[in-house]
Structure 1
């Protein structure tokens, strides 16, 4: 499960908050807006001021896209076997482990003979798209096309710059300062070499789209990075392979925020939940790669639906043996079980971040189950506080409530 620990706590908290809203007669979105963290509040984990807090904006944007008021009005005073409900839940999640853990990352950049750049980082690609984002960071900072940046994704602790690992949604946030620092240093060395070749002051030169240009005339290339690299490698008197390395400790940990909105139908007789629509809205700062971000959110939402409605490890009380140790008996949702997954983002720049971004890998799963539970409660009037909401569990709860 992504974000282990956080979904469980948020499920309890957001269920309790929703029950409070019901008891007080307050709209579930409104009670969350009243209690949402805002810029300037103290971060209870780090004690530092929160510099970006987009939870209110996420709730407002989600309420509009989802047509919350309209859908909620349609779910009032229902009778019969099929009943609709809408639910909402929020979350916050850190961008690394500091100050509980030490956060450090290293990066090494080397320019090749053809002007392309190799990147070595201790941060590991495990399918989340880290290498793609690291390429973007280096390309933007140095001033070259992304296609000219190659991340060597063969981490080896004997030779790779140090990094603690791939966990806690920390990779892009913690690795970014080291990558940016190394990229700026490499760019400085490139421009210094170009200044010697072109008999110019380094202050008058910059690097745009892989070409050396005058700051005052950026549209007129003076030299390609390939030509510069060849001179650096093979001029008999000056240069050498241009490289840069950096290792930086991170002492900031801005929280990401977001929420889930869900519309579902409960078949009371069959004890079955069908999701009609589900939407996640995230504040993860500046979105570095929209396509990868959308994929991350969709994956987390699917995992959250699995936790809420399907997945349960059954352990024999006497022997301790897992009774469903395979995918036949441990029910995971497949594509036909999932609805259309919708995502949206509120992009608020995080000033403590190297590229204005915050965590996104684990957050998408966190509020999903609570939103589904709250929607089931609205549809049926039954508050269920144990997951997953399987037909067996729904039957037991509905029977106790006198619905069946």
Structure 2
């Protein structure tokens, strides 16, 4: 029997070059959030504000034949009960176009309250507007609908055999192949052929979806819990046939999103509709159950991973297939197999994704869509193959670490996975792990270690930015990006301070408002890099303007300077030991401020921007594979009698390029790991296979990790820049969750000898 020992662990990181970039700078919004001064979407004060609540369908498919609102309308304080019988007409959602990313704004294709058709169990069929939230919810519970029920298909597992190939698109490939993977598998000396399942998951952000809407004629102001104010504005302009320029969407603070607040869902549209019809400001804060009923979650999956190898561990075949779910009214097909085209140097590959369409709400993106659940299957399969080969799991991964992209032969723009594993193994004490399962104990606890690879692609979206330097030395950065708790404004202030050579405290960032320059949605771990690209360009443009302004003065020490030779420091421009501050340049010229802008806000500029984005996106994808990656190490303890699983130690070593803020980066990576622990051990949306209704739509029954479930988490990052990305950063919001479930499943096997291939890993699967 081997006795487990826990080596001492300390958190250490390196920082990127720069006075502010790489440092652990406190969040600029930290004070207002911790003191309660921050106003979220449901907290913005308006006089005479009314409150709205939704009524949900109780059938999964059918036609509404009657709606009885008599009892609801009689509740004291009720202003209006809006159904498909009296709602004003709205335009249906636009068709999705692969060349227009904004067309993906709508969560579903349903034209809410403009149809008598029901497409899933929980679809909103009425909205009650009242003087108080209590009256609105009481009345909503009294609305009675009758239906002509139609046959429905809601059972994912039962329908999986009828899956059809997932259509491929410019943005979401549906698979790929190289060689004959099935034949190579059959001929391989050592192989595994495994089936995995993952359940439906739902977002549970600390702030439920919320909207406050105010009309003034055809002008509309919306306070929204959103990951993309631009998408909300464009979609509402389309729905209500008003100019987008007359709509202002404001979201300075968003209490978590994780993909659930990326699209526009029913609550937003129906709040705006209610405000339009009542002539009052209207607010709707979804109940926790309302989020489950009206906002899509992560698709369930059935996955096959088959690996064939030579006796030395070299992979001769890698097969990864998936079946996932879409609603008949829309949804995003998750790229479940995407990481498997990049992770291992197999001679033959087969990647295939299939879908089944059900009478359920459209699923949507959820932190690391595809990779979060795809890495679970491939990483457990690698661990099982290592056991068959009698190899260490890390050694097997390193034997198959590719030099170029295995599927298409493209270059990696940056990849330091070997270094991440080497550093993590030494620091975690991997050499102390017993390769024999079930022999390491600590009292009643069976103890095991597991590893898995983390992986998430990196890319950039469009962003318009303006930068202003004022005569008082202050710098104003303006961009309508989103802040959901990740410290986005702080990071951009750090970048601007370094680029302009000014103190961090002198930079102010305005964000989260469509009155500001257009910004990308907060998704795909792309926001920081996207905004940084334009911000750096704007800063360079501003410095050139300041130099030209300085040269106009005969007193300026920069008269002979060239822009290429300038440095920015001490609040100004310097060349050859000579220089002056921005404030002195502006004061001498008698100008209060100078602005620089990147991007255009016109319709033509928007069209050109979209075309340039798609062109660059496709060109980059043909040339490079860009991704953040890492090594997840975990230790678990399993009660030998009860099967209770406790994650007792965690170390993640990540290659995420340049880290902009050491404090917020660590927080983001830890948050992803915590979310992965939930997916591995407890999270599961339970769907009635007869009626398609989510049966556990609350935090009492949908089990998220609590403090007792989360161990000390140590995070380290290599902090080596990617030369193809702005400042070398790759993105960190999502890579933290990838590989987590695989590492836990592998550790559970090392502790108990039992393989669990169906998430979550609950007590019944270990007893």
User: What TM-score comes out, normalization by structure 1 length?
Assistant: 0.87
Aligned length in residues: 376
Q: Which has the larger radius of gyration?
A: 2
Partner Cα separation in structure 2 for residue 74 and residue 231 of structure 1: 76
> Cα distance, 1:48 vs. partner?
4.1
- Equivalent residues in 2 for 1:159-308, closer than 5 Å: 159-197=515-553, 198=556, 200-203=559-562, 206-213=567-574, 215-217=575-577, 222-232=579-589, 235=590, 241-247=593-599, 249=613, 250-251=616-617, 252=620, 254-308=626-680
Matched, 1:85 2:437: no
Higher helix share: 1
Match of 1:67 among 420, 429, 450: 429
Matched, 1:146 2:146: no
Q: Which residue of 2 aligns with 1:6?
A: 371
Compared CA separation, residues 194 and 74, structure 1 to 2 (3 A): farther
Partner Cα separation in structure 2 for residue 75 and residue 385 of structure 1: 17
Q: Which residue of 1 aligns with 2:459?
A: 96
Which fold has the larger relative contact order, with Cα–Cα distance below 8 Å and residues 6 or more apart in sequence? Answer: 1
Partner Cα separation in structure 1 for residue 436 and residue 383 of structure 2: 19
SS in 1 for 2:523: coil
Match of 2:766 among 364, 385, 394: 394
Matched, 1:19 2:377: no
RMSD of equivalent CA atoms = 2.3
Higher strand share: 2
Compared CA separation, residues 78 and 119, structure 1 to 2 (3 A): closer
Spell out structure 1 runs of 4+ moving beyond 6 A: 73-76
> Cα distance, 1:196 vs. partner?
2.9
Cα-to-partner distance string for 1:117-154 (whole Å, 9 max, x where unaligned): 11112332222111111111111112111111111113
Partner Cα separation in structure 1 for residue 648 and residue 722 of structure 2: 34
- Equivalent residues in 2 for 1:358-397, closer than 5 Å: 358-395=730-767
> Cα distance, 1:76 vs. partner?
6.6
For structure 2, the 5+ residue unaligned runs are 1-365, 600-611
Q: Which residue of 2 aligns with 1:401?
A: none
- Equivalent residues in 2 for 1:334-353, closer than 5 Å: 334-353=706-725
User: What TM-score comes out, normalization by structure 2 length?
Assistant: 0.47
For structure 1, the 5+ residue unaligned runs are 98-102, 396-404
- The answer to whether the 8 Å contact 1:286/1:348 transfers is yes
Partner Cα separation in structure 1 for residue 413 and residue 693 of structure 2: 48
Partner Cα separation in structure 2 for residue 174 and residue 257 of structure 1: 19
- The answer to whether the 8 Å contact 1:75/1:86 transfers is no
SS in 2 for 1:352: coil
> Cα distance, 1:339 vs. partner?
0.5
SS in 2 for 1:104: coil
After the TM superposition, which of the residue ranges 169-178 and 18-27 deviates more from structure 2?
169-178
SS in 1 for 2:494: helix
Partner Cα separation in structure 2 for residue 388 and residue 266 of structure 1: 15
After the TM superposition, which of the residue ranges 188-197 and 76-85 deviates more from structure 2?
76-85
Cα-to-partner distance string for 1:61-116 (whole Å, 9 max, x where unaligned): 1001101011336977458953111100002211137xxxxx32221112223121
SS in 1 for 2:649: strand
Match of 1:327 among 699, 703, 709: 699
Compared CA separation, residues 297 and 114, structure 1 to 2 (3 A): same
Cα-to-partner distance string for 1:325-383 (whole Å, 9 max, x where unaligned): 11111111111221001111112220101101101101101111100000111111111
